[in-house]
Structure 1
Amino acid sequence: MRKYIFHFILAFIFLSCNQPSKQENAFTSAAFTSLPKYPAKALLADFDLLVNSLKEAHTGIYWYTTARSFDSLVAARRAMIQDSMNGFQFYNIVSPIVAITKEDHCDISLSDDLKTFLQQQGKFMPLSVLNSGDDTFILNDTVSGHSLKGARVIAINRVPVSAIKEKIYQTFGSDGNILSSKIAFLDGIRFAIEYAKVIGQPESFDMTVMNPSNGKQQTVQVRAVTYQALKVIETKVNSTYHQDTSELPASFRYLAGNIARLTFNTFSNSRFRKHNMDFRKFTDSCFNILLKDNTETLIIDMRENGGGSEGNEDYLFSWLTDQPYIKYDSVELSRFEFSFINHTDYATDSDRIGLYNELHEENELTSNGRILRKKGLYIPMPPRSHPFKGHLYILTSGWTYSGGAEFCSLLREHTNAVFIGQETGGGYYGNTSGTMLELTLPATKLSISIPILKFNLAVHKGIPGHGVIPDFAIKPSFESFSKGIDQELEKALSIRPAAAR
């Protein structure tokens, strides 16, 4: 899979096996002396609180990872804690523990102090990038005076970029073993930001790049920039490539011929209300038009849909089937009350009581000891008597997640829809989400979002540990991106049946 196996092995040894010494050195230079240093006792207390809270509340913690594997990682990471570590060092010790839950809703965030440090004193690679599988392409016109637009990044400070991304991938989760969401997350300036959080913040970078047109490589020295300068690069890149920055939650229009494109960038009711829109009214109006016009082909764009309000995914799905179906096999809760609640955003008496009352009202302890959502509490929208029955194409990406991915799973399970793009970022069989407990560690103030409801979809056609796999996989191309070509949409238009053209 990797093209540079030998160099990758050396880099992996450099980045992983020598820890924590290499990691310690990366964040102990003079630039980090202003950061607070924590005694080992406080760090161990934060560490144990995090681990115990995950085990107690994260209902899907062992969905993709065995208890033995989880505990093994915990023991190894705990042994890395040393006295007088700063927040960045501790973040890099504990973030892989959050990531190994393999649930994208379970996330870890820097403290406000660390975020302020990055914004005011952080040093970053001056890069905005496009990731295409294992490859990383530079989007900005110039980098420290070098014309590198379109070049593929091979190595940074003599470490292959593939090994660098693998190290970063260890610090944040995705559903199961899905890689598409991690690849997409490092697009733009986020690769530079995550590098600064995980690898280090040197004054300059020796960057080896390759010209894709002739295969020629060169190594250039690139000066680090401030966060403000990095944001300027982001703005220029978005302007250069005419990135769609529309915040509209959804849109509908006809393309050439009898082809309609329906885009849902979210299922969040609050996002719809923000734009004076109503999700259900908008959806109904679109399908009423489609049926009235006898539309032959519908392309539903789910590439930016990260989910939202529960129920909207199957409300949309109800317009695409006339057959009865079951959405969830179960919705499961780990417990009704939590020992660490005083360290969360439900710490006040009113918030805690409100949460516990809600959990008791909506869930019940069953005879087999599981806590499940009460039957009849949630009833999905019944299928339509006259749904859309034309040719159906779904555009997906690593950002297709949570409720957006659930919608795609339902389509894959119950329709003949054709999927185009990248594997969905959300798992085929469901996710752990719903109510989130925002845990703040007392000493370091790192914040961890812990999901407490495990949604098991009533599906069986997927691959465990993965999302919906597209029928036509599209690998993002720098050339297409730079020319504003929508690869997924173009593919959908090219594969339509002859009768629909």
Structure 2
Amino acid sequence: MAGNKIYQTITFILISCSALLSYGQTLNLNSHINHADRLRQDFTFFRNSIQNTHPSLNRYSDEKTMSAVFDSCYASISEKTTDLEFYKMLKILMSKMKDGHLYCSLPPALETFRSERASFFPVKLRFIDGKAWVDAVAAPQIPAGSEIISINKQPINAVIPELFKYIVSDGNIQTKKYHILNNFFYFYYFIEFGETPFFDVDYKLKDGQIKSIKIKADLEKNILKNENANVHQPLLDFSIKSNQIALITIRSFEPSELKINYSDFLKNTFKKIRELNIKKLIIDLRGNTGGRDTYGSQLYSYLANKPFKYYKSLQTITMKMDFDKFKSNVSSYNNLTPKMFKKVHDNQYQLTKEAHPNLEIIYPDQSYNGEVWFLIDGLSFSTTAEFCAIAYSNKRGKFIGEETGGTYDGNTSGVQSELVLPNTKMEISFGTVKYEMAVKTAKEIGRGIIPEYKIQPTSQDIINKNDVQLNFAFQLAGQDNN
């Protein structure tokens, strides 16, 4: 899966503003081609690549609707269209495709401008239930825990939908979009409303007083200087709490990020659980944006009480794949070859069970038969959402937190197709395999795993570092967190 890369690329889905419009116009790399034709060439290259390789273009929208969207975008390109406006158009188009694994970069010169000279809204915000709260690490002008009412006279509840239109997400899921805004609100505000040296902000204090302030825009490096405070938290962790409750924390399924061997971690952890005869287990998957897809099935094999199916099917719309990227030493696939493709319809192929371990029947491994509670949030994406879908469908435990960022029915990922648009040099990435999970029919298509216990922290919980979701899990398991 490409889930972890997708979250990393969130950092690089960074944007520019209206002050760059004339600047973007000058980035003509082929002076003999007029600007509009240059952008049309890039758009046609993008469209052909997507339509010939991406297997889920019509997963959540019919072919006629998506074709009309592409046609409208192409028709909107004119000599006045800047590189920045072209980027914004592609971002909106990708958002309408409802695939959270899609990625689009800025043109290189605009990316350089953004990182070195552009200035942004400097206050870090946290979005809860459609409202924006000042985070504890925000600029000092506004007290932490204050609610932002408006920015430059625009109500915050009117701002959010305008920013959402640029953010890619699986299906109709919004929790992931809110998490992206938690980290990168200033970027998306910048792209939609442009650059300004100051911001007029109306905010509400905890006692209900409404205040107004003018704050100065700032460089990205200054806004992000406190962002690395939690980088030393372990990605894999196991502990035993009082009353014999086990807690497993898995923040990533990406092998390159994990400092210890994942298989050994699971083997040793569940061996300890079995030796101690533990019957209550909490698995924390919050913030886990994915990684290697076999890591999800491997984790479930320790929880399963009978053999299980993981993937219902893996499908493509072409046999022209970069097979070197599907080798077993660099992916979860079993050295994919053309012989592993079965044509089921015109331009539709299904991978045989020999192509991937998760297409085989999987057997329990030292299975744990006790109770399980899963902690999830909008960043539980890709491989993580797949694991949660199987656990949810098989009623293997209770879920706590908020809807996952990945859909219940599957995603589009596998090995990403990566291309560079010839004129603007924008980098595009998208999945080449349509994943369908072996789960019971979803109540609502295009949604994530929705927890039985929806628990949201308040702004004060965040400031006080009160983990209400984990505390709630411990309460359900029969103890308070201590």
TM-score bucket (shorter structure): 0.7 to 0.9
Q: Which structure 1 residue ranges, 5 or more long, are not aligned?
A: 1-22, 339-345
Structure 1 residues 382-401: aligned runs within 5 Å: 382-384=362-364, 386-401=366-381
Question: How far is 1:350 from its partner?
Answer: 8.8
Question: How far is 1:286 from its partner?
Answer: 0.3
Partner residue of 1:220 out of 204, 213, 224: 213
Structure 2: distance between partners of 1:24 and 1:230: 16
Structure 2: distance between partners of 1:379 and 1:184: 32
Question: Corresponding residue for 2:390?
Answer: 410
Partner residue of 1:117 out of 109, 113, 118: 113
1:255 aligned to 2:241? yes
Deviation readout 1:389-430 (Å, 9 max, x if unpaired): 111000001110111111101101113401000101111011
SS in 1 for 2:67: helix
Deviation readout 1:277-302 (Å, 9 max, x if unpaired): 21111101100110110112100000
**Shift in alpha-carbon separation, 1:173–1:362, aligned structure 2, 3 A:** farther
Question: How far is 1:491 from its partner?
Answer: 0.7
The one-letter code of the counterpart of 1:50 is: F
SS in 1 for 2:447: coil
Structure 2: distance between partners of 1:169 and 1:411: 30
Partner residue of 2:273 out of 270, 290, 295: 290
Partner residue of 1:459 out of 439, 453, 457: 439
Structure 2: distance between partners of 1:75 and 1:214: 52
Structure 2: distance between partners of 1:127 and 1:256: 40
Structure 1: distance between partners of 2:324 and 2:264: 35
Question: Corresponding residue for 1:206?
Answer: 200
Q: Is the 8 A contact 1:420 1:470 kept in 2?
A: yes
Structure 1: distance between partners of 2:105 and 2:66: 20
Question: Corresponding residue for 1:177?
Answer: 172
Question: Corresponding residue for 1:82?
Answer: 78
The one-letter code of the counterpart of 1:110 is: L
Question: Corresponding residue for 1:18?
Answer: none
Structure 2: distance between partners of 1:307 and 1:457: 15
SS in 1 for 2:185: helix
1:472 aligned to 2:463? no
Structure 2: distance between partners of 1:183 and 1:134: 9
Question: Corresponding residue for 1:26?
Answer: 18
The one-letter code of the counterpart of 2:234 is: L
Question: Corresponding residue for 2:6?
Answer: none
Question: How far is 1:80 from its partner?
Answer: 2.8
Question: Corresponding residue for 1:335?
Answer: 318
Question: How far is 1:223 from its partner?
Answer: 1.2
Task: Number of aligned residue pairs: give it.
Answer: 453
Question: How far is 1:54 from its partner?
Answer: 1.3
Question: Corresponding residue for 2:474?
Answer: 493
Question: How far is 1:147 from its partner?
Answer: 3.2
Question: Corresponding residue for 1:96?
Answer: 92
Q: Is the 8 A contact 2:134 2:148 kept in 1?
A: yes
Q: Is the 8 A contact 1:24 1:89 kept in 2?
A: no
Structure 2: distance between partners of 1:24 and 1:266: 30
1:73 aligned to 2:69? yes
Structure 1: distance between partners of 2:372 and 2:302: 12
**Shift in alpha-carbon separation, 1:69–1:218, aligned structure 2, 3 A:** farther
SS in 2 for 1:452: strand
The one-letter code of the counterpart of 1:404 is: T
Q: Is the 8 A contact 1:336 1:359 kept in 2?
A: no
Q: Which moved more, 1:161-170 or 1:118-127?
A: 161-170
Structure 2: distance between partners of 1:195 and 1:25: 9
Question: Corresponding residue for 1:442?
Answer: 422
**Shift in alpha-carbon separation, 1:197–1:49, aligned structure 2, 3 A:** same
Question: Corresponding residue for 2:181?
Answer: 186
Deviation readout 1:346-386 (Å, 9 max, x if unpaired): 7xx9989999x965446313254431112233334733375
Question: Corresponding residue for 2:12?
Answer: none
Partner residue of 1:36 out of 11, 27, 38: 27
Structure 2: distance between partners of 1:387 and 1:350: 35
CA RMSD of aligned residues (A): 2.9
Q: TM-score, normalised by structure 1?
A: 0.84
**Shift in alpha-carbon separation, 1:284–1:33, aligned structure 2, 3 A:** closer
**Shift in alpha-carbon separation, 1:113–1:247, aligned structure 2, 3 A:** farther
SS in 1 for 2:42: helix
**Shift in alpha-carbon separation, 1:385–1:317, aligned structure 2, 3 A:** closer
Structure 1 residues 355-434: aligned runs within 5 Å: 360-361=337-338, 363-369=340-346, 370-380=348-358, 382-384=362-364, 386-434=366-414
The one-letter code of the counterpart of 2:238 is: F
The one-letter code of the counterpart of 2:449 is: V
